[in-house]
Structure 1
Amino acid sequence: METGADVVAASEKGLIIVNKADRTEIQTLTKSRGLSDIDIQHLAWYAPEDLLIVGYRNGNLDLISSAYTVRNISDIARSNIFLGRRRLNKIRIYRDRAYICTGFGIVVFDIGQRLFPETLIIGPNGSQIEVFDLAFDEAGGRVYAATELGVFSASLNSSLSFFLNWTPEPGMANKPFNHIVNWQGKIVANRLTGTNDDSLFIRENGTWSWMYDVFISKNFDVEVCGDELVITNDFSVVSYRPNRSKRLNIEPGNVFNPRFKPKAAVLARDGNWYWIASELEGMYGYFYPEGWLFTFLPDGPFDEDVFRMRYHNGRLWVAPGALNSVWGPTFNNKGIYYYENFDWQHLTASQLNNRTDILSITPSPVEPGTVYATAWGQGIVQITNGQYVTTFNASNTDGGLSPVAGAPDQVRAYDIVFDSKGNLWTATSLSERPLTRRTPNGQWVNYAMGTVAGTTTNIGRMLVTREDQIWMTLQNRGIAVARLDPNGTLQVRQLTQLEGSGNLPSADVRAFAEDLDGAVWIGTSAGVAVLYTPRFIFEPNRSYDVRRITFEENGIVQALLAQEVVTAVAVDGANKKWFGTQNSGVFYTSADGREQIFNFNRNNSPLPSNNILDIEIDRRTGLVYIATDRGIVAYQGAATEGNETFTDVFAYPNPVRPDYDGPIFIRGLVTGAYVKITDVAGNLVFETRAEGGQAIWDGKDFKGRKVQSGVYLAYMSDELGFNTHVAKILIVR
């Protein structure tokens, strides 16, 4: 979409913005930066106000000014009428109104008044029909609607809200049409087939005919730009002059780009620049007639798919694979991506020897630059310094990786962990000897797990505790815990729902994490439980039943998240807990789990979905990475990992300049440090206690007033007052 100064392209999750004059800087606008929603469906521009209208699939609207301030109009999305058909298809501007094509009809929005004066239900006998697109022919005095039941039209001088004024166009009924435009007084409509042979029809001199000279293909977009008809199909962009001769045909071959996959295109008002939305590479600018193709691709992960994440030494690794409902392969071939120093990188499947279904990635603590990834059904992939090395399977580990029983070429490893001695541990599903250890010198050893796990057991997530216990989730069978005793013999225990054998709230265990006190917090399909003393599992006559976290609310005792499917558990630098759920977003609680601090969900935060798949925390900075089924979001948490002594203490921003209105962070503190802030005269203006190794000051005094310009001293000490430190903060108002 071309606005006054910019060109804007939409992805499902946000906007890509390029200034037409300089074409050097790419800006983005997303839900975390001002947009109200995700799943953008269509864009429209209202020239008198230089107003961009963003339409979302659920009917939500954002009005965006030329300064990119956003006003949300949520009436359609919030309406209780037309449930199940409120999907938005397109927005067309006519005079001072936006006509919104939906699954039930047309909603009219008065742009100047910012209100909805009427809804047009245009189907036969006043029925709801899906309207995909509209075209206005002011000279001819009619409006045309492309619908699921064909092309309808009505006189612009009639009451458009009266369904009898809408009539089917001759020869264009009972077949779906999804695009319709006014091209120099001729109406062009695209008949939707659901295959790759859409057909275009044109109305000339009152008669509809097939455009036989237009290539038959799957047409993603049809637009009129100036006097040209611009068609985007499944492999090219074609522009036609009014005499129906081709002005331009842009396809992978003539731009020398095999990744050229257009989804929509417009010709700029200058008549030279074609702006093209790409499925794979953001947005293109094509300059005619020279044929220069420019790519405008903002930084981001290769795809929204994510299964597991792992943060290690400044790098966030993302495994995008997936399993189906019976733990079978999905043949996800999107490789691996990682984030480091504000930059995303992608290792393609071809770079990984065509491995698919990457489920987890674990950096090696004893091999710098090396990570190990599980490829479901194929084995364990070794990557060193970003280069594929090998894939370990049953044949090249002397049987150390135990294959699926009856399928010797199938090694189904889900996760990998390393213990304190540098041993790599993994567990293979449906195998005779599921648990495998690879020693630091490269020797592979596997172990049978008796009745706990074998040829009928799927094994999922793994955890290694500070005492080198190996925890494993068993599909609908609770948890297996293993360890090597001092003689090197494997000991295995199973935690189940039975009292005395774990007392889990559910056998469907989805996640777990060890906190800073050594307790293991467990997420299940029936909420959260905690085992405070994991070492008791292998001690005789000791109970290792888990405990539920209970609290009283409105006189009723409840268990923590008992009604939620808890899919992720993470612990931050202050020992506070993060829980991801399948349906309700993210919960952040106190260290003991009894106090809810936040509940982030799609409605109150930038989360694109309430279905949380994983949570990883950078304890050095407090940044929390949250993986959903619609992509990854980062949240700047308050807690960082604390130190035993004050180490490299610093405050930022410092100095605090007049245009900054955010929090001031003080890092490098001892765990739970006490912080008092005074002016140079010694007057106390603020005090707090660190979250882990970080304290936060909002720049205000005890009465909530911004402090004046000057130098402020932050006095810090540990709980006993033995370790102390002083930092200076300069504030300029």
Structure 2
Amino acid sequence: MRSRCLVFVLIFLLSTACFAQPIGTWQEHLSYQSAIATGTDGSQLVAASPWAVFQYDPQAATFTRFSKINGLSESGIKTIYIDGPLTIIAYTSGQIDLLEDGKTRSVNTLRLSNIPADKKVNAIWKENERCLLATGFGIAVLNIEKAEIGDVYLIANGGVYSKINSIAADADYYYAAGEAGLYRASRSASNLADFRSWTLMSGLPAGAVHKVFIWQNELYVQIGNQLFKEEAGGFISIYEDNWQWQGVDTSSSGILLAQRTNGAARVLLINNAGEVQTSLVHPLIQWPHQTVYFQEQYWVADSLNGLINIDGNFVERLAPNSPAGIGTGGLVAGATGWWMANGNRLSRFQDGNWQLSTTFDAIGPLLETGDGGLWVGSMNSGLGLFRDGNLQVFREELLDESVQEPGMYKVGGLALDAGGQLWISNDEAARGVLVRRPDGTRQSFEIPFFYPSLRVREIVIDELDQKWIASPGNGLFCLNGTNDQWRFYQAGAGNGNLPSNEVLSLARDQFGFIWIGTADGIGIIQCASQVFSGDGCDAILPVVQSDNFAGFLFKGEAVQTIAVDGANRKWIGTKNGVWLISAGGEQTLLRFTTANSPLPDNDIRKIAIDPKTGTVLISTAKGLMSYQSTATEGSRTNTNVLVYPNPVPPGYTGTIAIRGLVSNAVVKITELNGRLIYQGRALGGQFIWNGLDLNGKKVATGVYPVWISNDGRTEQAVTKIVFIQQ
């Protein structure tokens, strides 16, 4: 029995390795390389990026991640507060999460309130089960036990809305750092919601107070780049410099100042007399926000380098495995892995891990070379070829400089034709399109139309070797390179019939149609072979009947990205989420937003699909997510058929997937005696099954042959699924 269990576990693990992400599930790939806040619960560190939270255990050197995938209600974190096992997470929307022992309770009172002012929580002060929240409109009182906002204090003169930056308290008073100065109220006051219970303290410079805190039973106030201390009923300045102060915190041995100026950064430790005791300077410290002293070591939350541990001369950067940042440029899922451009960095996902690759200025479009390399377009500095860890850069020897910004070499789009030639949209150049041949020679093409901005971006090549080039604000160009023929598509009947001249995205589908995403919906070129003959070929504007789309397809939506999956379905990204639509666009199959999925933001920048696994990569304004879809790219043969899970374990109710099939294969599942259990067609190269027979009943324990063939029955294969029921 034990050997049977071991065999089952081994087969299941091998099957799982082939299908790392189950059908219909999400995985987060948010960046933890930026930290804006940190603290300790006494045994481990807690740090927040702008998009998620992680815990770090220094003893075990392990990370625990928290995001919308596993309990957080939002992304867009403003600040956190740690009190033992409790972490209070405040979001820019006013939403609050109470994270404790891996479980989350959410407080949405502020977010849903009709307060016509800034609801962001700037700082948190806690005492027992009660928290005072410094917000953009005043003070909100949070009851931890009930997970609710119990009261609101509008403490500014007249009870008007006024931003509060920080809150502190001693034995006698509450203190609030506000835009008008430092407020104080007696702890014995009967009604703190009455603005008359609060008074502005004198002795400080006029204007906003940025932070107030108590350290060693003394009151301190930060105003800009100056620190004041209360003495004998007044305030004295104990420290001032010309640096920008990012954060002020306390430790057992002093006050910690996180600072930055002119590209330099440091963390200072000063005593109660304002004397500098320690200065922490290191290349990793670039944009510090908050510092804690824990286990006789310094821990710095840095927005460029994550959580930094400083122990004497030993400095270490700590972050869960993740990409360098949010996607700001190209996104590719292909044979060499997943690639995402993050500003000046490339991030690559391979074998379950993210690696931070080469640095290149303003990375834009990305394209696999087809032989293991990656073309990397820059929006300023030319074209890079990344191979085996090395970056080769092409500038004036290949590209023409920008007319708008001389000395800049801009790549707006990249595409490979069937002959291995690289086609480049040379953005803002006088000759906007060029081709680089495999032997390194080049030819450039002048676009023979007036397009004022000289903008050329995404480029797609159709089956006739025609090049389609997006020109945001102008329309769409089509080039027949053989005859040097051009066609200019713009909005309006007779001009090309685009929905808008603001062309944002392009895709070629399996029918050979060109899908054009604009600022006002989608147009489709369905007659590419007639572009340069007869009456030409205008775009059609599909009309759909749907609750979401009444009329033209995506009318009123900015279609920022389009991707085609193995079943020829279209994944559409807009500023309002993600849609999956049928091959012809007549039906909406799925829609994902922040409200019904773990997406961190509805602003969808790029979508890419891994052809082998069917994983859909969705790059948003706040980070990358992946969704395991049902369709993969079809194979030419059925020689690498994989089934997941296999064996099907007891109690499993998820989707069973059969991958590696010829496109749109016919699949039949039978009993050993040949009786049909289920049949259907693959979505591209993948067939999915819910484990129920034709009568809707769960199949019994046993071995079930799977018969696979294409329509002509020239490609046939047989595999098996094993069910183990309790």
Q: Which amino acid aligns with 1:295?
A: R
1:508-547 alignment runs, 5 A limit: 508-538=502-532, 540-547=533-540
1:271-290 matched pairs, under 5 angstroms: 272-287=296-311
User: Bigger shift: 496-505 or 679-688?
Assistant: 679-688
Instruction: Give distance in 2, aligned partners of 1:663 and 1:556.
Output: 30
Distance of aligned partners of 1:408 and 1:264 in 2 relative to their CA distance in 1, 3 Å threshold = closer
Q: Which of 234, 250, 253 pairs up with 2:280?
A: 250
Of 157-166 and 709-718, deviating more is: 709-718
* Root mean square deviation of aligned Cα: 2.9
**Amino acid aligned to 2:107:** I
Deviation at 1:595, TM superposition (A): 0.9
- Give the direction of change, closer, same or farther, for the CA distance of 1:456–1:121 in structure 2 (3 Å limit): closer
2:223 to 176, 186, 191: 191
Distance apart, 1:639 and its partner CA: 0.8
> Residues 5 and 690 of structure 1: is their aligned pair in 2 closer, same or farther, counting only changes over 3 Å?
farther
- Alignment match of 2:319 (pick from 287, 292, 297): 297
Matched letter for residue 169 of structure 1: M
Q: Deviations over 1:319-366 (max 9, x none)?
A: 445xxxxxxxxxxxx1433333333333444xx5xxx3332122323x
User: Any residues of structure 2 matched to 1:606-621 within 5 Å, and which?
Assistant: 606-621=598-613
2:86 maps to which residue?
51
Match of 1:372 in 2: 375
Q: CA deviation at 1:675?
A: 3.8
Does the 8 Å contact 1:306/1:628 carry over to 2? no
Q: How does 1:167-186 map to 2 (within 5 A)?
A: 167-172=199-204, 174-186=206-218
Aligned residue among 571, 583, 591 for 2:583: 591
2:631 to 628, 632, 639: 639
In 2, Cα distance between equivalents of 1:27 and 1:645: 42
CA–CA distance in 2 between the matches of 1:423 and 1:8? 50
What SS class does the counterpart of residue 158 from structure 2 fall into? Answer: helix
Residue 161, structure 1, aligned to residue 193, structure 2: yes
Distance in 2 between residues matched to 1:130 and 1:677, nearest whole Å: 65
Q: Distance in 1 between matches of 2:642 and 2:53?
A: 36
Structure-2 residue corresponding to 1:28: 65
Distance 1:703 1:217, change over 3 A: farther
Alignment of structure 1 residues 18-417 onto 2, 5 Å: 18-22=56-60, 24-47=61-84, 50-66=85-101, 68-81=102-115, 83-138=116-171, 141-158=172-189, 159-172=191-204, 174-192=206-224, 198-212=225-239, 217-226=243-252, 228-234=254-260, 235-240=265-270, 248-252=278-282, 257-259=283-285, 261-268=287-294, 272-287=296-311, 292-320=314-342, 334-349=344-359, 352=360, 356-365=361-370, 368-393=371-396, 396-397=397-398, 401-404=399-402, 409-417=407-415
1:542-598 residue CA offsets vs partner (Å, 9 max, x unmatched) = 4412212212247995111011111111100010001111x2121111111111112
Report the CA distance shift for 1:152/1:518 in structure 2 as closer, same or farther (over 3 A): same
Q: Equivalent residue for 2:498?
A: 504
Q: Secondary structure at the match of 1:727?
A: strand
Q: Letter of the aligned partner of 1:43 in structure 2?
A: I
Q: What is the Cα deviation at residue 713 of structure 1?
A: 4.2
Amino acid of the structure 2 residue aligned with 1:449: I
Looking at structure 2, the residues matched to 161 and 94 of structure 1 have their Cα atoms a distance apart, in angstroms, of: 18
Following superposition, the deviation at residue 728 of structure 1 comes to 2.2
Change (3 A) 1:386 1:514: same
Q: How many residue pairs are counted as aligned between the two chains?
A: 682
- Report the counterpart of residue 330 of structure 1 in structure 2: none
5+ residue gaps, structure 1: 193-197, 322-333
Q: Does 1:460 align with 2:457?
A: yes
Matching residue's letter, 2:86: L
CA change 1:293–1:336 in 2 (3 A) is closer
Instruction: Give the secondary-structure state (helix, strand or coil) at the position aligned to 1:126.
Output: coil
How many Å separate the matches in 2 of 1:227 and 1:430?
A: 57
Q: 1:299 to 1:166 in 2, by over 3 A?
A: same
Aligned CA distance change for structure 1 residues 531 and 731 (closer, same or farther; 3 Å): farther
Q: Amino acid of the residue matched to residue 267 of structure 1?
A: Y
Distance of 2:113 and 2:481 partners within structure 1: 60
Structure 1 residues 430 and 726, CA gap change in structure 2 (3 angstroms): closer
Show structure 2 runs of 5+ residues with no match.
1-38
For residues 374-409 of structure 1, give each alpha carbon's deviation from its aligned partner in whole angstroms, at most 9, with x where no partner exists.
Answer: 33354333333332223132xx35xxx444559874
For 1:237 and 1:408, the matched residues in 2 are separated by 40
User: Compared with structure 1, are the counterparts of its residues 39 and 669 closer, same or farther at alpha carbon in structure 2 (3 Å cutoff)?
Assistant: same
Residue 227 of structure 1 deviates from its aligned partner by 6.5
**Cα–Cα, structure 1 residues 95 and 500, in superposed 2: closer, same or farther, change >3 Å?**
same
What is the correspondence of 1:713-728 to structure 2 with a 5 Å cutoff? 713-719=705-711, 723-728=716-721
Residue 597 of structure 1: SS of its match in structure 2? strand
- Give how far 1:655 is off: 3.4
Post-superposition shift, 1:682?
6.9
Alignment correspondent of 1:562: 555
Q: What do residues 203-259 of structure 1 show as CA deviations (whole Å, max 9, x unaligned)?
A: 2443322124x766433223334564333333333445667766644222xxxx454
Q: Write out per-residue CA displacement over residues 609-636 of structure 1, whole angstroms, 9 at most, x where no aligned residue.
A: 2222221111111111122233322222
Q: Distance in 2 between matches of 1:666 and 1:608?
A: 30
The one of 610, 617, 628 aligned to 1:625: 617
Deviates more, 1:377-386 or 1:638-647: 377-386
Question: With structure 1 as the length reference, what TM-score do the two structures score?
Answer: 0.86
Quote the Cα distance in structure 2 between the aligned partners of 1:173 and 1:702: 79
1:428 to 414, 426, 429: 426
Matches of 2:109 and 2:411 in 1, distance apart? 48
Instruction: Work out which of the residue numbers 45, 51, 59 in structure 2 matches 1:13.
Output: 51
Q: What residue in structure 2 maps to residue 484 of structure 1?
A: 481
SS, match of residue 211 in structure 1: strand
Change (3 A) 1:84 1:447: same
Q: Describe the superposition over 1:106-163 as per-residue Cα deviations: whole angstroms up to 9, x where unpaired.
A: 111111122221111100111111111111112xx21111111111010111121111
The residue type paired with residue 236 of structure 2 is: S
The CA distance in 2 between the partners of 1:424 and 1:537, in whole Å, is: 23
Matched residues in 2 for 1:406 and 1:226: separation?
55
Higher RCO, Cα 8 Å, sep 6+:
2
The 2-side partners of 1:567 and 1:555 are apart by: 18
Name 1:551's counterpart in structure 2.
544
| TM-score of the pair, normalised by structure 2 | 0.87
Deviations 1:492-523 (A, max 9, x none): 12222343442222222111111111111111
Partner Cα separation in structure 1 for residue 196 and residue 717 of structure 2: 82
CA contact (8 A) 1:675 1:717 kept: yes
The verdict on how the C-alpha distance between 1:678 and 1:123 changes in structure 2, with shifts beyond 3 A counting, is: farther
Name the SS of the counterpart of 1:545 in structure 2: coil
Contact 1:430 1:454 in 2 (8 A): no
| Preserved contact between residue 649 and residue 727 of structure 1 (Cα < 8 Å) | no
Closer, same or farther in 2 for the Cα pair 1:115/1:279, shift >3 Å? closer
